[in-house]
Amino acid sequence: MRSAPHLLVVDDDREIRDLLTSLLARRGYKVTAARDEHAMRWALSNSQIDLVILDVMLPGKDGLAICRELSAEASPAIIMLTARGEATDRVVGLEMGADDYVAKPFDVHELEARIKAVLRRHRAAGGEPAGERHAALNFAGWTLDLRQRQLTSPDGVLVDVTSGEFDLLAVFAERPNRVLSRNQLLDIAHGRGSDPFDRSIDIRVVTGPAEVQGAIHAFNQMQERLQRFIDDRMQMVAAMSHDLRTPITRLRLRTEYLDDATQRAKALCDLDEMEHMINEVLGFARDEAQVGTSVNLDLSSMLQTICDDMADKGHRLEYVARAHPKVWCRANAIRRCLTNVIDNAVKYGRAARIALSTEGQDVVVHVDDRGPGIPAELREQVFRPFFRADASRNRDSGGTGLGLSVARNIARAHGGDVELADRRRGGLRVIVRLPGRIAPPDLPADAPATGDSADQPGGGRLPDPKIS
């Protein structure tokens, strides 16, 4: 009979560590807990660990850097456990060698299911640790020994490389035929704890007159100052995410000790509501901090996709495109702007009619609904973050009060605006106005366009209701 799997929980939050240890022990696992890398290393050297549940934000060396080191050693399977749940964070965690990635707050039943799946895959692979299965990498006759950190040429000669060169070579050797950005290289090679302005992976060749070199140096300094500002904001959002999600994680784990199923269900419902509000707040803060890449966007195609997605969820919409303009914008931001406005219309107005047109040099989107509308005296206030027309702030009668605020901020950041007006036959009209330029001054007007659906004609009509 196979003995119970031995799990190692590594988390700096004592309550989460204790709760997870207790809950997983009740489910038949042998569990050891550690608060940092030092305690984790001691447990690994003194026990046969089958799986490590590793938090990302640890004191000292962070979990991603630890994961990268463990994946190159004879280590057990790894599940990352973190409050940083963005897609890019999950990708980096998996690239570091983690077998799975669970974002806080989480349900303990889901975590247990993931533990079972990872252990099952681990046994199917022969029970060998991931690091042992890939202790050496071979390419074009060269051998890269990840455990001894040695590089051997096709002639069998050991080649001297620095630690940084070895890490960078390992990143590329483990990901053949992949294009990796500078930030991805920093994250994978050095972990999230690396300095975002570390130039160790850059090859910078500056030649020419002293004036040119001076201009290049000044430009690089300006770029680094801007990047530092953006990075500080994103670090703030990451810290907020950790500090807000961690208490909810504790509360979710504590609900497992409630014997009354009805009360447990109600408590989980309240926690879901809290998590939704936190996600809205963090999304708002993240949008404020991020600077995306602008593209030529086929707006009619994007609107068609948004409407199709909402129609698939059972919402009643009608979409009419009277023009097929392209706008120079940050596509993800504009998608969120339009989605927020349309989502409000179908939520409070029962149905929505979306019309795309042009007015002079502007691109205009009208979103009409048949709801109760918004009183004229409140129409500016509803754009304030967290403002709710319902003074009771009952969740049944409204959201977090961020949807329109986010939409207007995005539109104004693009040189446009979001305004409110009455519909002639009752209801509310939301007007999203964007400048109709299709490329910045330094790019040709025929720069390639980007849309959500390639080669879509862009305007369509959804077969459901007509709003008269």
Query: Distance between CA atoms of 356 and 358, rounded to whole angstroms?
Result: 7
Query: Distance between CA atoms of 100 and 81, rounded to whole angstroms?
Result: 9
At 3, is the secondary structure helix, strand, or coil?
A: coil
Closest CA to 447 of 342, 355, 367, 327: 327
Query: Distance between CA atoms of 10 and 67, rounded to whole angstroms?
Result: 11
∠ CA 266-271-277, nearest 5°, is 130
Residue ranges per structural domain of the chain: 6-132, 135-190, 210-289, 294-450
Which pLDDT score is estimated for 233? 60
Beta bridge partners of 143: 138, 152
Which CATH architecture is the domain 135-190 placed in?
Orthogonal Bundle (1.10)
Query: Distance between CA atoms of 265 and 269, rounded to whole angstroms?
Result: 6
Check residue 383 and report its DSSP letter. G
Neighbours of 448 (CB within 10 A): 9
pLDDT digits (tens, 9 = 90+) for 188-224: 655 544 444 444 445 433 445 565 566 666 666 776 7
Closest CA to 370 of 339, 346, 404, 389: 346
Which pLDDT score is estimated for 450? 53
Share of the chain above pLDDT 90, in %: 19
pLDDT digits (tens, 9 = 90+) for 377-434: 888 888 887 666 654 334 444 555 677 888 888 898 888 999 999 887 788 999 999 9
pLDDT digits (tens, 9 = 90+) for 286-322: 665 555 567 888 999 999 999 999 998 888 899 999 8
CB distance 296 to 444 below 8 Å: no
Residue 167 vs residue 438, higher pLDDT: 167
CATH class for the region spanning 6-132: alpha beta
Task: Identify the H or E element spanning 55.
Answer: strand 51-55
User: Predicted confidence band at 458 (pLDDT cuts at 50, 70, 90)?
Assistant: very low
Q: Please report, for residues 66, 220, 253, the alpha-carbon distance to residue 202 in angstroms, rounded to integers and kept in the order given.
A: 24, 13, 45
Task: Identify the H or E element spanning 138.
Answer: strand 136-139
Residue 291 vs residue 349, higher pLDDT: 349
Which pLDDT score is estimated for 150? 85
Query: Distance between CA atoms of 84 and 239, rounded to whole angstroms?
Result: 9
Check residue 399 and report its DSSP letter. -
CATH class for the region spanning 210-289: mainly alpha
pTM (global) more than 0.85: no
CATH ID of 294-450, from 2.40.10.220, 3.40.50.1100, 3.30.565.10, 3.40.50.300? 3.30.565.10
Task: Identify the H or E element spanning 356.
Answer: strand 352-359
Fold match between 210-289 and 294-450?
no
